[in-house]
Each structure stands twice: as structure tokens, then as C-alpha cells.
Amino acid sequence: MQLASRLSLLVVVICAGVAPLRGQDRSAAAYNERRQAMVDLIERRGVRDSATLSAMRVLPRHEFVPASQRSRAYGDYPLPIGHGQTISQPYIVAYMTEILQPKPGMKLLEIGTGSGYQAAVLAQIGCEVYSVEIFEALATSARQRFDRLALAVTSRHGDGHHGWSDAAPFDAVIVTAAAGYIPPALVAQLKPGGRMVIPVGSVYGVQNLILVEKDPDGNIRTRNLLPVRFVPMLSGIR
Ligand code: SAH
């Protein structure tokens, strides 16, 4: 090959290598950069569990919020998802996930599917996730999201106060709406040695995030973790 044509080939290859990103690629790269910054912040705030952090580094949180909220998807605050409900603050999602000590293969129940983001984090870690949502419209859109993103979450529409008896018992239970009391069915559906995390307290004020542990003999111990503010756990079917 002539030197001139070799040089022009080299120029083409170099130019291809530094070609500017376009359209979707550019926004994917921008979202990725913001997502890494979000997880860096969560790590600085004290979350250490590597499975939790890795899952949040890859999951596209912007796919879990309404289109009008996409530009805010990687801020450390809750966002509205319709029906008066919210997707939780990323730090709280990370904190609650870490508390559950999630491992691949663990069987887990979530009450309050909402956007599906919390369930997605657990599924990304490799947990077998069951999730219940009281608003039919939210349950439907979350299921479509799980399918689109190929996330192994089994979800249904219903009132989570009753848990999911057909799929019980669970290694862990996570409740992402504020309860006035700890629903007895959820404690009953927890395996001996299992743990549950649940915000409990005044539904329109500040609640306590509580860790419920069931020891191998079935005895229950509860511990206050931190003050939180969640949307209320509702009753009936919507
Ligand atoms: N885990 C969600 C957070 C959603 S906010 C996420 O990652 O986006 C809490 C959710 O709990 C809301 O979607 C609300 O509709 C739902 N919820 C409230 N009461 C419930 C109940 N009794 N059973 C099931 N879901 C309930």
C-alpha cells in the first residue's frame, strides 16, 4: 500500500475513534455520568455494601420516572410518579437494600412496587423478588418496565398488608410505604433468621425506619434505625 493511502486510512481510523456521540448515545453517556456521581455520593454518605452500589451503578433510574422528571432522575431526592406516590430518594433505597444484606438467590418480598426501582435494585443483585402494589395503574407500568429491562421481578396488584402467602416464606421483607403498625402477616411470612425493614409511625409526619429480625427460634426483635418520611401505606384496592 502506498504511504499516502496508508496515512489516509490511519486518519479515517483515528477520526472514527473520536467521533462525537450523537443523540441517544450522548444522553446515555450523560445519564451514566450523573448516575456514577449519585452512587459516589451514596457511598460517601456511608453505604458500603458492594452488591447494592454495583446494582445502582448500572440500573437506569431515568427509566423509572415519568418523562417530565428524567432530567432530575439522578438527584438524591424522591420524585413524583403519579397517583400521589413517589420513587424513593436514592440514598434511602441504598440504605434499606444494604440493611437487608441481599445475596443472589435470596427470596424477597417488597410491599409498594411504585416505579419498580427498589425491586429492580434487588433483582439486579440476583435476588428472587416478589412485589405488591396497591394502585393497579402503577402495578401495570412497573410490570412493563420489568419486562422491557429484562428484570426478574414477580409482581402483582393488591393490598400488601396481607403479604404474598402463596410465595411465602421469605428471607427478607421490605416495606416502602409508611405503616401505622407492623402488619402481622408480613412477620408471619418471614423465615426464621430473616429480616424485615419497614417505616412505622405517624403516616403524615416523620416515621422510624425499623429493622425486624426473626431469630432461628422464631422470636422477634425490633430496632430503630433512622427517622424517615414515606408516603402512607394504604388499605383496600385502588
Ligand atoms: N418502592 C417504590 C416506592 C414507591 S412509594 C419505588 O422504588 O418506586 C410507596 C408505594 O407503596 C406507592 O406506589 C404506593 O401506591 C404503594 N402502597 C401504599 N400502600 C400499599 C399497600 N397497602 N400495598 C401495596 N402497595 C402500597
Instruction: Tell me the sheet residues that pair with 108.
Output: 129, 172
Residue 21 or 27, more confident: 27
Give mean pLDDT, residues 100-108.
98
The pTM of the full predicted model, rounded to 2 decimals, is 0.91
Stretch 226-232: mean pLDDT? 96
Q: Return the active site residues.
A: 88
Q: How far is the CA of 15 from the centre of ligand 1 (A)?
A: 49
Query: In degrees to the nearest 10, what's the CA dihedral of 151, 89, 34, 144?
Result: 30
Bigger pLDDT: 135 vs 18: 135
Poorest-pLDDT segment among 2-6, 21-25, 45-49, 212-216: 2-6
How far from 125 is each of 36, 87, 185, CA to CA, in Å? 17, 19, 26
What's the rounded Cα separation, in Å, for the pair 100 and 92? 13
CB 213 within 8 A of CB 195: yes
Q: Please state the domain extents for the chain.
A: 22-228
Q: What is the pLDDT of residues 50-86, one digit of tens each?
A: 999 999 999 999 999 999 999 999 999 999 999 999 9
Instruction: Give residue 236's pLDDT.
Output: 86
Q: Residues with Cβ within 6 A of ligand 1?
A: 85-88, 111-112, 114-115, 117-118, 132-135, 138, 159-161, 176-177, 231, 233-234
Atom of ligand 1 nearest to the CA of 118: 7
Is CATH 3.40.50.150 the right assignment for the domain spanning 22-228?
Answer: yes
Distance between Cα 85 and ligand 1 center (Å): 7
Atom of ligand 1 nearest to the CA of 86: 5
Is residue 238's pLDDT more than 70? Answer: yes
In this predicted structure, the answer to whether residue 11 has a pLDDT above a threshold of 50 is no
Find the 204 Cα to ligand 1 centroid distance in Å: 15
Q: Could you tell me if 105 and 208 are in contact, meaning their C-beta atoms sit under 8 angstroms apart? A: no
Is the pLDDT score of 95 beyond 90? yes
Instruction: Return mean pLDDT, the chain.
Output: 92
Query: Among the atoms of ligand 1, which is closest to the Cα of residue 233?
Result: 19
Residue 114: the pLDDT is 98
**Predicted local distance difference test score (pLDDT) of residue 117:** 98
Distance 184 CA to ligand 1 centre (A): 18
Q: Is the peptide bond before 102 cis (omega within 30 degrees of 0)?
A: no
